Amino acid sequence: MIPMPDTAFARFWSRLPAATKQSFFAGVVMGLVCHLYLFTNLIPNHDAVFHLFQCDYGTASGRWFLPLVLAWDGDYNMPWLQGVLSLLCLAGTVCITTRLLRIEKLLAIVITAALCTAFPTVAATFTYMFTADAYFFGLFLAALAAYAAWRMPIWGLPLGTILLILSMGIYQSYFPVAAVLMVGALLFDCLEGRASFTPEGTRGRIVLRGVRMVATLALGIVVYMAVARLATMASGGLSDYMGISSMGSLSLSELPELVRQSLESYETYFLQNELGWNFSFIPLLVIAAWVSGVVLLATLLLRRQVGVLRGLLALVLVLLYPLAGSLIHIMVAGAAVHDLMIYGLLYALILPLALASFAATHADEMGSLRSALQSLMSWIVIAAMALTAYNYIVTDNKAYLKMELGFTQIEAYSNRLATMIQSVPGYSPSLAVVLVGSSNGDALLNVTPELSEITLTGALNMGTYRTQYSYGYLLNRFSALPNYVYLDDMPEEVSSAISGVSETMPAYPQQGCVQIAGDYIVVRLN
């Protein structure tokens, strides 16, 4: 008998662990705390100006599943709807994270949710709001792939592989998330004493789980690359964007250097402040959390139930954990790695929280001295990560302020420019506008140096909006200029038609910076 929908949902909800329910609500609430302002305001960056009403790209860059997922919210850039859908996916990722890493204590769950939703990679993704919900769905699929491979003895391999392929078909950079969650899940299997090296207890055998997870990762990336190449065969193959065309073609001689770069990325993002992400004391807090995590791990490994083999395996997994989270550097083999691609690094902050929560859950199994040490280390981890999460909330909202000011400034600038264009004698909407000297390095486009403090991919200053492919759309859509707009990269016939005029014109905003030459309105910018 098929149950009624409300009955089925009630059964599903009742079977969920309390920690999973807490994780979901914490993810939604913390996400709203951090990003609500961006959800309730349209603040497009340069790409979003172009993709305001359509988003028809992705296949050439290996994201063949992205257009299909983007279809679920239509063609328009709608921050509130896309923001809510994104939060649901992020909250789902938090649920899987806390389950696999055995985070069961409420305070640790809330801080984990704050880190997962406020990590600047999330804010960088939200600056491209027109794709954010699809990207975070890809993140959720990657986490779900890890859970399937860990939880399902029979169906884990095929289901996990399919989920991972679909995740990479949306955004390839979430592959490390699946990898680091798998390593973390195996680590806590060891700490729980469930890892069996004998034929008994097949369901919990860590060797079989490990093989299943490695097979899921290997099959996932191989099949994904095959599908990506097939999907782009008619259009000339994969593009070179961000190293996607070379993914999977790694030379062994490159591996040591790529491993070094992978591990160095933790120093760049957590122990330095060149990007403007961290309060001055955050690196010290991160170090304190990592040291405390090591101490917690040592006390847990000394439990008699862990045993020598599981203890050694746990140490190997701890060493693999940071590499798994930074695999993106190896995947793209030397290509540039930007802020949207590093979500896997976040799990280096979550592991100490997971160890603190696990120690609290099993405190009754420890001696009094060891429990006192665990309590002290846990306090350090909780305090350090809570402050780090708050730091990221501040960082994200500073980036949103930068976006708002930058867009407000370029909109005001463009309105003035549009007024001058429409005021030139002989103006007609049918005439094409030609912008000459449109470099985004123009001093007039960089009037707020304070905005350079935060360097977050997608959160840009005023000057970056004047790009070849999007500035014409900005003039059309936000300044109501109906004319077709050419920037510096224009056809030869256009360049020839205006050459005699543009070379002698004064620069904007001087009188005479806008003139008509035949069928074109010429604007000398700088």
> DSSP states of 40-100 as a string?
TS----HHHHHTSS-----GGGT-TTHHHHHGGG-SS--HHHHHHHHHHHHHHHHHHHHHH
Lowest model confidence (mean pLDDT) among 13-27, 206-220, 503-517: 503-517
Same domain as 74, residue 116: yes
**pLDDT score of 198 more than 60:** no
Q: Which of 401, 435, 457 is the last residue of a domain?
A: 401
Q: At what angle do helices 368-423 and 18-39 cross, to 10 degrees?
A: 30
Q: Which of 401, 435, 469 is the last residue of a domain?
A: 401
Same domain as 157, residue 112: yes
**Which of 298, 297, 306 minimizes the C-alpha distance to 351?**
297
- Whether 442 and 463 have beta carbons less than 8 Å apart is answered as yes
Q: What is the pLDDT of residues 79-117, one digit of tens each?
A: 999 999 999 999 999 999 999 999 999 999 999 999 999
Same domain as 436, residue 381: no
Q: Which of 352, 367, 401 is the last residue of a domain?
A: 401
Position 203 scores a pLDDT of 43
**pLDDT score of 306 more than 80:** no
509 upstream amide cis, omega within 30 of 0: yes
Same domain as 221, residue 130: yes
Query: For the chain, how many structural domains are there in total?
Result: 2
Same domain as 436, residue 373: no
Is residue 410 a part of any domain in this protein?
Answer: no
- Whether 208 and 153 have beta carbons less than 8 Å apart is answered as yes
Lowest model confidence (mean pLDDT) among 164-168, 215-219, 443-447: 443-447
Cα–Cα distance between 293 and 346 in angstroms, integer?
Answer: 15
Same domain as 502, residue 378: no
Position 363 scores a pLDDT of 75
Q: What is the pLDDT of residues 321-353, one digit of tens each?
A: 999 999 999 998 777 898 999 999 999 999 999
Is residue 5 a part of any domain in this protein?
Answer: no
Give percent of the chain above pLDDT 90: 58
Position 239 scores a pLDDT of 56
Q: What is the pLDDT of residues 349-381, one digit of tens each?
A: 999 999 999 999 887 666 566 678 899 999 999
Is residue 1 a part of any domain in this protein?
Answer: no
Q: What is the pLDDT of residues 421-441, one digit of tens each?
A: 999 999 999 999 999 887 766
Please give the average per-residue pLDDT across 68-89, as a whole number.
89
Is residue 409 a part of any domain in this protein?
Answer: no
Same domain as 463, residue 358: no
Position 181 scores a pLDDT of 98
Using a cut of 0.85, tell me whether the model's pTM lies above it: yes
Q: Which regions of 365-460 does DSSP assign to beta strands (E)?
A: 432-436
Q: Which domain holds residue 479?
A: 423-524
Same domain as 380, residue 442: no
Same domain as 166, residue 111: yes
Same domain as 133, residue 28: yes
Tell me which of 271 and 199 has the higher pLDDT: 271
Cα–Cα distance between 165 and 74 in angstroms, integer?
Answer: 24
The answer for 13, left when phi > 0, alpha when psi is -120 to 50, beta otherwise, is: alpha
Same domain as 466, residue 364: no
Is residue 366 a part of any domain in this protein?
Answer: yes
Position 388 scores a pLDDT of 97
- Whether 166 and 82 have beta carbons less than 8 Å apart is answered as no
Position 202 scores a pLDDT of 39
Position 367 scores a pLDDT of 59
Is residue 298 a part of any domain in this protein?
Answer: yes
Please give the average per-residue pLDDT across 267-274, as a whole number.
88
How many Å separate Cα 79 from the centre of its chain? Answer: 17
Same domain as 199, residue 313: yes
**pLDDT bucket at 197, cuts 50 / 70 / 90:** low
**pLDDT score of 172 more than 70:** yes
Q: What is the pLDDT of residues 250-267, one digit of tens each?
A: 667 788 888 999 999 999
Q: What is the pLDDT of residues 477-486, one digit of tens each?
A: 999 999 999 9
Tell me which of 45 and 202 has the higher pLDDT: 45
